[in-house]
Amino acid sequence: MAARKYSRQRECIKQDLVGRYDHPTAEMVYESVRKKYSNISLGTVYRNLTLLAEDGEILRLNCGEGFDRFDGNTNPHYHFLCRKCGRVTDVMIPEAGHPDFMHMEGCRGRIDGYMVYFYGICEDCLEAEQEEENPQKAVDSRISV
């Protein structure tokens, strides 16, 4: 594939993603990048996110929410999705703990990549649940030193 022509807007979008860890949607990236390029359109952001993902410079995450999220960290890692608040966070597993998905027996083809998602309830939502269940205990734990 031929190298793409340099684009300041595309570079700004990429740098925005590399500098954040909230796995934003295209709309979130658009709102952030608009601060520097006030005339950028949402369509331009979508097109450039697609190009960056196709080129392997960012990750496109399909978390089953109906819209994609994006990740500037292309190093091997997994993702945890909170079923309550929708937050997506990185899960780092030591290299020795990674299954060798690229060389699975029984696969009748070539595996070029994989994406693993863990689903559950994040720490913040669990704490909020505990406070709802026992509000006095939550107040006491915040007071005690």
Span 6-55, pLDDT tens digits: 999 999 999 999 999 999 999 999 999 999 999 999 999 999 999 999 99
The reported pLDDT for the residue numbered 20 is 94
The reported pLDDT for the residue numbered 139 is 55
Question: Parallel, antiparallel, or unpaired: how do β-strands 78-82 and 59-62 relate?
Answer: unpaired
Domains of the chain, first to last: 1-74 (1.10.10.10), 75-145 (3.30.1490)
Q: What pTM, to 2 d.p., does this model score? A: 0.79
The reported pLDDT for the residue numbered 24 is 97
CA 68 to chain CA centroid, Å, is 9
> 144 versus 15: which is more confidently predicted?
15
Closest CA to 16 of 37, 47, 43: 37
CA distance 121 to 109: 35
Residue type, 88: V
